[in-house]
A and B are shown apart, each in its own frame.
Chain A
């Protein structure tokens, strides 16, 4: 295990048909099995949607950063992620009386979407920005006393070439490792729309 782990990371991943998604497959390969990273595939673990709430809550207590990794479906998450949020973040655990388990922890969405960044603008086909669509996640995090980090977003995933996918794959791995090892200035990070942008600006040598 790497000696400089500062934040233990829990990646909650969901894709109902992983074998069809090149981008998600690659992102998963990059982070699964990293030191200090717990990876959980919801659709694989709970195919009948019967989520083990106690076990999930235990994982949340043990980790410092929660990453929700999933495709961006109908401006939101796949069904099982909603189920997971609804059941696991329960009263007395995540909020309400005695619900302080998540206070001070960090959370980040990591999503892949078919549309380009331009589609998610006032004059684009989706009108609202990805950040706006992610408001429910941001508010949920804030409500539970968590710090919401700018999301990791892959745009244009549908027609992406394999070499571009490889770049995102590597970028995602670097970001997760940097977060794990506490190498990012979180205050500075908050000024960015996507965590991708902050990382690319900080490490100019990177390019897509």
Chain B
């Protein structure tokens, strides 16, 4: 078998991932470190199992694009707008200060100012992939520190674009743009030849198109696709969307990651958001994993072994400088101490853009190849240190602060509603309206596109998706919700959802709509707490009206109705207890018996109910004629 056949390579990566990541997680090291170590092990310096790491890494970088798309989906425009201060202020100052300080050190060592400036700029960047993956794995994305980290990273991702433009200008030989800048996912730009104002116009037009299409057209496209009821079509469409945007961004010379992030933000208010999330999520996870593995595999241990102490020293210096600058900025921005440590420790590494930018700078004759090689190694090692730094922060520093990880900004979690309603048809809507009228936030899931459109027109937030899918339940916030209202109009699906919920979110209370007695029992067996038969209560009410129209006094009819209701519910429970406790033979016997009971029930309803209600407000012995 050929070692570099696609399937064999895929097999190696998968084995490495499924062996190392669970172990790393079990040891509390986080998945990122697991992937990185796996990469080192299968890489050219240990087992030599993989070929052409560079190509793989290039492909796997698309995982970062998917990740930013998903982050965008979580971030409504209004919330992004609220972050503008931290992004520009904190992010801008971090890049500026770090570049200046690191550049100054390089200059002091004796590099020329061009080289020093380039090194400063590139090393100012941190790793979006590692930081965001680690933070979200630890559930810290919504903390103050998490949001600050995110803001800084977003600024850095934007800053890469002017850096790509600046580096060729710093070239010692004066060499201009070359085709190589496509390495950075930057140019190969079709509009490159046009004058600046036309380029700007095209870029603006593209962004406006994304916003308008995302806001007004996407819904119809999603609906059209969703109505095929083929889940893979939706997945295909979601991937098409992300890849299409990434490509068009590349075409006009913008960062694909930023483009998809923007698209994510635009779609954050779409009813198809949760479904998009759960469709893209696995791809993002696998690609990011692949990316981390390739980072691990790309670490040049030959280079390292030549001057191990120098390299380690450089890693420590880089991390310390970045850490101190981040921390001071955190103090300037009045960040809570514990959150400041979290964000400083998260961001104190070099970033994956560094790989690309250093190669780019070398190819533009800005930096000599041996310096680039060393610094790329430093960045890779500093990235590998990040999970370890986070563990240090967690174990040694955070215990001094009580509120670590608990402090959440209410604004950030307001979209995680206390109630999730699955199924928003004839039944779910009534429940939803009642809760809505009492100001209780609901997240609504439905899988009929026409239904969603109709209800959305009345201002409800309804999301498209199949509520029996675990990923969808997760992204709808089942882990944080207090109550799950199961109102789907499919018997088997309801049972399936109830079982999934009980298994994965045992703390979540479920109340459900059932169709009939049999279905009620099945739901009870699945662990549902409260069950209402869908037609029962309304039939009772109609019955009450009937009694009233036949001349019953209003209150007499009302009591007759509610008494009957309780009576019937009591019987329902009694039969269930029989179902539950007895073995099969007894059960069959009991069912026959209970069926007879049901016949008797119809006969005895009158008598029982009279006994229950009739002696109220009288003294029978004295009063009866």
Contacts and interface: CB of A to CB of B under 8 A. Distances in A.
Interface of A: 15-20, 41, 43-48, 71, 73, 78, 114, 158-159
Contact of B617 (A20, A44, A48): A20
B26 to A, nearest CB: 57
B622 interface: yes
Interface in B514-565: 544, 553-559
B623 interface: yes
B616 interface: yes
Given A158-B622, A159-B622, A73 B617 contact: yes
Given A48-B558, A73-B617, 15 more contacts: A15-B617, A16-B555, A16-B617, A17-B556, A17-B618, A18-B556, A20-B623, A43-B554, A43-B555, A44-B553, A44-B555, A46-B554, A47-B554, A158-B619, A158-B623
A19 B622 contact: no
A17 B617 contact: yes
Contacts of B623: 20, 158
Contact of B553 (A18, A46, A71, A73): A18
Contacts, number: 43
Nearest to A15: B617
A84 B400 CA distance: 59
Contacts of B557: 47
B619 A114 contact: yes
29 contacts: A16-B616, A16-B617, A17-B555, A17-B556, A17-B616, A17-B617, A18-B553, A18-B556, A19-B556, A20-B617, A20-B618, A41-B553, A43-B553, A43-B554, A43-B555, A44-B553, A44-B554, A44-B555, A45-B554, A46-B554, A47-B544, A47-B557, A47-B558, A47-B559, A78-B617, A158-B619, A158-B622, A158-B623, A159-B622
Nearest to B625: A22
A19 to B, nearest CB: 6
Interface string B596-625: 000000000000000000001111001100
Contacts of A17: 553, 555-556, 616-618
Interface size class of B (residues with CB under 8 A): 10 to 19
A46 B557 CA distance: 11
Contacts of A20: 617-618, 623
Nearest to B551: A19
Nearest to A17: B617
A26 B622 CA distance: 19
Interface in B472-528: none
Nearest to B557: A47
Please name the 7 residue pairs, one residue from A and one from B, whose CB atoms are nearest each other, closest first: A47-B558, A44-B554, A43-B555, A47-B554, A47-B555, A17-B617, A18-B553
A72 to B, nearest CB: 12
A48 B450 CA distance: 37
Contacts of B619: 114, 158
Contacts of B559: 16, 47
Interface in B553-589: 553-559
A18 B556 CA distance: 8
A114 B622 CA distance: 10
Contacts of B556: 17-19
Nearest to B619: A158
Nearest to B552: A19
A41 B554 contact: yes
Contacts of B618: 17, 20
A98 to B, nearest CB: 29
A15 B616 CA distance: 11
Contacts of B558: 47-48
B527 to A, nearest CB: 32
A41 B558 CA distance: 14
A47 B553 CA distance: 9
A19 B553 contact: yes
B565 to A, nearest CB: 13
